[in-house]
Amino acid sequence: MRTRAVAAFATVTLALAAPLRAQQPAADPADVGTIEDIVRVSYEVISGPPGTPRQWRRDSTLYAPGAMFHALHEDSTGKVDVYSMTPEEYRRRTDKGFVKNGLIEYEIGTHAERFGNVAQVRSVYAMRRTTDGPVTARGVNYFQLYWDGTRWWIAGMVWDDERKDNPIPREWIGAK
Protein backbone atom coordinates (compact mmCIF):
# COMPACT_ATOMS: atom_id res chain seq x y z
CA MET A 1 0.00 0.00 0.00
CA ARG A 2 2.79 2.42 0.91
CA THR A 3 4.56 1.70 -2.41
CA ARG A 4 1.38 2.60 -4.29
CA ALA A 5 1.04 5.85 -2.36
CA VAL A 6 4.64 6.83 -3.15
CA ALA A 7 4.16 5.91 -6.82
CA ALA A 8 0.92 7.91 -6.99
CA PHE A 9 2.61 10.94 -5.38
CA ALA A 10 5.51 10.75 -7.84
CA THR A 11 3.13 10.46 -10.79
CA VAL A 12 1.07 13.47 -9.68
CA THR A 13 4.21 15.54 -9.02
CA LEU A 14 5.63 14.79 -12.46
CA ALA A 15 2.28 15.44 -14.12
CA LEU A 16 2.00 18.85 -12.44
CA ALA A 17 5.57 19.83 -13.39
CA ALA A 18 5.16 18.94 -17.08
CA PRO A 19 2.76 21.84 -17.88
CA LEU A 20 5.14 24.28 -16.16
CA ARG A 21 8.02 23.15 -18.36
CA ALA A 22 5.79 23.29 -21.43
CA GLN A 23 5.16 27.00 -20.72
CA GLN A 24 8.87 27.84 -20.78
CA PRO A 25 10.58 28.78 -24.02
CA ALA A 26 12.84 26.04 -25.38
CA ALA A 27 16.50 26.32 -24.42
CA ASP A 28 19.31 26.36 -26.95
CA PRO A 29 21.00 22.96 -26.43
CA ALA A 30 24.37 24.73 -26.50
CA ASP A 31 23.28 26.73 -23.42
CA VAL A 32 22.27 23.75 -21.27
CA GLY A 33 24.31 20.80 -22.55
CA THR A 34 27.01 20.90 -19.87
CA ILE A 35 27.43 22.26 -16.37
CA GLU A 36 30.02 24.72 -17.67
CA ASP A 37 27.66 25.93 -20.41
CA ILE A 38 24.70 26.66 -18.17
CA VAL A 39 26.82 28.52 -15.61
CA ARG A 40 28.55 30.56 -18.35
CA VAL A 41 25.21 31.46 -19.93
CA SER A 42 23.77 32.52 -16.56
CA TYR A 43 26.45 35.25 -16.51
CA GLU A 44 26.08 36.16 -20.19
CA VAL A 45 22.33 36.82 -19.99
CA ILE A 46 22.57 39.40 -17.17
CA SER A 47 25.69 41.15 -18.46
CA GLY A 48 25.98 44.15 -20.71
CA PRO A 49 27.14 47.77 -20.78
CA PRO A 50 24.77 50.65 -19.93
CA GLY A 51 21.85 50.88 -22.35
CA THR A 52 21.98 47.22 -23.38
CA PRO A 53 18.80 45.19 -22.84
CA ARG A 54 19.35 41.96 -20.94
CA GLN A 55 18.67 38.54 -22.48
CA TRP A 56 15.75 37.69 -20.20
CA ARG A 57 14.01 35.28 -22.61
CA ARG A 58 17.22 33.25 -22.89
CA ASP A 59 17.62 33.51 -19.10
CA SER A 60 14.15 32.04 -18.56
CA THR A 61 15.19 28.82 -20.32
CA LEU A 62 17.84 28.00 -17.70
CA TYR A 63 15.69 27.44 -14.61
CA ALA A 64 13.65 24.48 -13.44
CA PRO A 65 10.04 25.13 -12.44
CA GLY A 66 10.03 26.27 -8.84
CA ALA A 67 13.65 27.51 -8.91
CA MET A 68 14.53 30.02 -6.21
CA PHE A 69 17.29 32.57 -5.63
CA HIS A 70 18.57 33.59 -2.20
CA ALA A 71 20.73 36.71 -2.04
CA LEU A 72 22.43 37.39 1.27
CA HIS A 73 23.40 40.84 2.47
CA GLU A 74 25.10 41.84 5.69
CA ASP A 75 24.72 45.43 6.87
CA SER A 76 27.31 47.46 8.79
CA THR A 77 25.99 46.15 12.14
CA GLY A 78 26.42 42.52 11.07
CA LYS A 79 22.71 41.88 10.59
CA VAL A 80 22.16 39.38 7.77
CA ASP A 81 19.23 39.86 5.42
CA VAL A 82 18.15 37.18 2.98
CA TYR A 83 16.26 38.19 -0.15
CA SER A 84 14.48 35.15 -1.57
CA MET A 85 12.94 35.43 -5.02
CA THR A 86 12.01 33.52 -8.13
CA PRO A 87 14.05 34.06 -11.31
CA GLU A 88 11.19 36.21 -12.67
CA GLU A 89 11.15 38.36 -9.53
CA TYR A 90 14.92 38.80 -9.90
CA ARG A 91 14.50 39.91 -13.53
CA ARG A 92 11.86 42.46 -12.58
CA ARG A 93 13.86 43.72 -9.61
CA THR A 94 17.15 44.20 -11.48
CA ASP A 95 16.34 44.96 -15.12
CA LYS A 96 16.03 48.75 -14.92
CA GLY A 97 19.24 49.20 -12.92
CA PHE A 98 21.25 46.76 -15.02
CA VAL A 99 20.22 48.50 -18.25
CA LYS A 100 20.69 52.01 -16.85
CA ASN A 101 24.02 51.46 -15.04
CA GLY A 102 25.48 48.46 -16.83
CA LEU A 103 26.60 45.21 -15.27
CA ILE A 104 29.33 42.90 -16.47
CA GLU A 105 29.43 39.88 -14.17
CA TYR A 106 31.90 37.11 -14.92
CA GLU A 107 33.39 34.04 -13.33
CA ILE A 108 36.90 34.25 -11.85
CA GLY A 109 37.02 30.81 -10.21
CA THR A 110 34.89 27.69 -10.09
CA HIS A 111 34.59 24.33 -8.41
CA ALA A 112 31.97 21.77 -9.42
CA GLU A 113 30.90 18.63 -7.64
CA ARG A 114 28.68 16.09 -9.35
CA PHE A 115 27.01 12.96 -8.10
CA GLY A 116 24.93 11.12 -10.68
CA ASN A 117 22.40 13.59 -12.07
CA VAL A 118 22.90 16.35 -9.48
CA ALA A 119 25.62 18.94 -9.19
CA GLN A 120 26.64 21.92 -7.11
CA VAL A 121 28.90 24.62 -8.47
CA ARG A 122 30.79 27.22 -6.45
CA SER A 123 31.29 30.10 -8.86
CA VAL A 124 33.42 33.05 -7.75
CA TYR A 125 32.47 36.21 -9.64
CA ALA A 126 33.58 39.76 -10.22
CA MET A 127 31.38 42.65 -11.35
CA ARG A 128 32.06 45.77 -13.39
CA ARG A 129 29.75 48.42 -14.82
CA THR A 130 31.50 48.45 -18.21
CA THR A 131 33.70 45.91 -19.97
CA ASP A 132 36.93 47.76 -19.17
CA GLY A 133 35.79 49.50 -15.97
CA PRO A 134 37.10 48.80 -12.48
CA VAL A 135 35.85 45.81 -10.51
CA THR A 136 33.04 47.10 -8.29
CA ALA A 137 32.29 43.94 -6.32
CA ARG A 138 33.10 40.27 -5.99
CA GLY A 139 31.28 37.36 -4.43
CA VAL A 140 30.36 33.71 -4.61
CA ASN A 141 27.37 32.09 -6.31
CA TYR A 142 26.37 28.55 -5.43
CA PHE A 143 24.37 26.85 -8.16
CA GLN A 144 22.27 23.75 -7.51
CA LEU A 145 21.77 21.87 -10.77
CA TYR A 146 20.24 18.68 -12.09
CA TRP A 147 20.39 16.67 -15.32
CA ASP A 148 17.05 15.35 -16.59
CA GLY A 149 18.54 13.04 -19.20
CA THR A 150 18.57 15.66 -21.96
CA ARG A 151 19.80 18.90 -20.40
CA TRP A 152 20.97 20.68 -17.25
CA TRP A 153 18.57 22.79 -15.16
CA ILE A 154 19.32 25.35 -12.46
CA ALA A 155 17.17 24.34 -9.49
CA GLY A 156 18.34 27.23 -7.34
CA MET A 157 21.08 29.70 -6.51
CA VAL A 158 22.35 31.33 -3.34
CA TRP A 159 25.00 34.06 -3.22
CA ASP A 160 26.90 36.36 -0.91
CA ASP A 161 29.17 39.31 -1.60
CA GLU A 162 32.76 39.64 -0.53
CA ARG A 163 33.31 42.02 2.40
CA LYS A 164 36.35 43.12 4.40
CA ASP A 165 35.42 40.62 7.11
CA ASN A 166 34.43 37.99 4.54
CA PRO A 167 37.20 37.80 1.93
CA ILE A 168 37.13 35.24 -0.85
CA PRO A 169 39.84 32.64 -0.21
CA ARG A 170 42.73 33.30 -2.59
CA GLU A 171 42.87 29.65 -3.68
CA TRP A 172 39.30 29.92 -5.00
CA ILE A 173 40.24 32.58 -7.56
CA GLY A 174 41.35 31.11 -10.86
CA ALA A 175 40.41 27.63 -9.64
CA LYS A 176 38.88 25.20 -12.11
Q: Tell me the CA distances in angstroms from 126 to 25, 85, 93, one per residue in order.
A: 29, 22, 20
Q: Is 69 a residue whose pLDDT tops 60?
A: yes
Nearest alpha carbon to residue 103 among 154, 53, 173: 53
Q: Is 165 a residue whose pLDDT tops 50?
A: yes
Instruction: Kindly report, residue by residue over 126-155, the tens digit of the pLDDT.
Output: 999 999 999 999 999 999 999 999 999 999
pLDDT recorded at residue 26: 94
Q: Is 5 a residue whose pLDDT tops 70?
A: no
DSSP characters over 48-102: B-TTPPP-HHHHHTSEEEEEEEEEEEE-TT--EEEEEE-HHHHHHHHHHHHHHH-
Query: Cα separation of 139 and 130, whole Å?
Result: 18
Q: Could you say which of 3.40.630.30, 3.20.20.140, 3.10.450.50, 1.10.3720.10 is the CATH number of the domain covering 2-172?
A: 3.10.450.50
pLDDT recorded at residue 16: 52
pLDDT recorded at residue 24: 78
Instruction: Kindly report, residue by residue over 99-132, the tens digit of the pLDDT.
Output: 999 999 999 999 999 999 999 999 999 999 999 9
**Stated pTM of the model:** 0.85
Which residues, at least 6 apart from 56, have a Cβ–Cβ distance to it below 8 Å? 45, 91, 95
All structural domains of the chain with their residue ranges: 2-172
Nearest alpha carbon to residue 138 among 150, 147, 156, 125: 125
Query: Cα separation of 82 and 55, whole Å?
Result: 25
